[in-house]
Amino acid sequence: MNELGQKLRQARIDKGYTIDDLQQITKIQKRYLTAIEEGNFDQLPGKFYVNAFIRQYAQTVGLDGQALLNEYQGKDDTNSNDENVTENDSKASTENQGGVEKNAQNSRMLNEQKSSRFDRIRGYLPQIIIIAVVLVLIIGIYTIALNHRNGSNQSATTTSTSSSVKVTDERKSTSKSSSKKASSKASSKSSSSAKSSSTSTSSSKKSSSSSDDLKVSKVKGTRTTSAQTYQITNYPSSGNTLNVSATSDSTWITVTANGSTTWQGSVTAGTPQTIDLPSGITSFMVTSGNATVTELSVNDTSVKLPSTTSSNVVQNYTFQIQSSTNN
């Protein structure tokens, strides 16, 4: 698909972009952009990223990325079919020269090989059945043990709650007994003061707790087909982390803080990545190469990502830090 790379390069030049400009806009590394223009697609992380990066490149320079892929992939399929036809004709000519006797000999050898393979598979069948039964037993035992442990935890929680209720009841009983001995007027004033103090303390605790929680919210009017801006409040001044995971398949992630790349790599399903965010930053950006399977959270606060389609999987998420706390 070298012609594809040349067509993209010419469109970039017509737009007046350099490779560095294109890297800044698409967040794709310069060495990958150069490999696309030169047709060296084996230097990219994989076939999925070849298609994703080409679509992103084409959209940036004003071309239809999916149409380009369909056009040049169709040419590759045609060339492949021509090569297969030539190879089959050559094989047919060689077999005809060998004669009927050689064909018969080859047929007998193939039949013997198939029979041998079937016999070997049939010989391993008892071991396969035993292994499957053992795996089922192990899974069953593990499930029973897990259910038993969950039941024990629930029982312990119930017991702890019951004890707490008893202690509270005893304290209430003691308080009532003490208030009967004092004068009714003093008791009324003391009770009113205690309730007011308790209500004020409880209200201040709830207000402090809710105001200190880190919050991530979308900034209205910033959504585009390939980008979304968020605002973070109650952001601690240090010790912050970004957690990246993939629900399925894999995704290519780039994290940029205050204009500098902090982390870049591939995240696969079942292997989440925790990234330390530098102290003192005012913003950071996450670029996902496969947004349809990407999940993000800041300090264990989940980020609700906008839905996207498979035709535009490369997404940029910008996080603006509104304020920092000393927590």
What pLDDT does 264 receive?
Answer: 92
Residue 256 pLDDT class (50, 70, 90 cuts): very high
State the pTM of this model: 0.39
| Weakest-pLDDT range from 64-73, 96-105, 306-315 | 96-105
Domain with CATH 2.60.40 in the chain: 215-325
Q: What is the pLDDT of residues 16-42, one digit of tens each?
A: 999 999 999 999 999 999 989 888 888
Quote the CA–CA distance of 223 and 219 in Å, as a whole number.
Answer: 8
Look at residues 282, 231, 284, 238 and name the one whose alpha carbon lies nearest to residue 261: 284
Question: Quick check: 165 pLDDT over 70?
Answer: no
CB-based contacts of 3, cutoff 8 Å, min separation 6: 72, 75
Question: Quick check: 100 pLDDT over 70?
Answer: no
Q: What is the mean pLDDT of residues 167-185?
A: 47
- Checking phi first, is residue 217 left (phi over 0); if not, alpha (psi -120 to 50) or beta? beta
CB-based contacts of 25, cutoff 8 Å, min separation 6: 17, 60
Domain with CATH 1.10.260.40 in the chain: 2-63
Question: Quick check: 166 pLDDT over 90?
Answer: no
What pLDDT does 98 receive?
Answer: 53
Q: What is the pLDDT of residues 231-251, one digit of tens each?
A: 989 889 899 998 889 998 888
CATH architecture of 215-325: Sandwich (2.60)
How far is the first Cα of the chain from the last one, in angstroms, to the nearest whole number?
Answer: 54
- The domain defined by 2-63 carries CATH number 2.30.40.10: no
Residue 103 pLDDT class (50, 70, 90 cuts): low
CB-based contacts of 217, cutoff 8 Å, min separation 6: 230, 231, 233
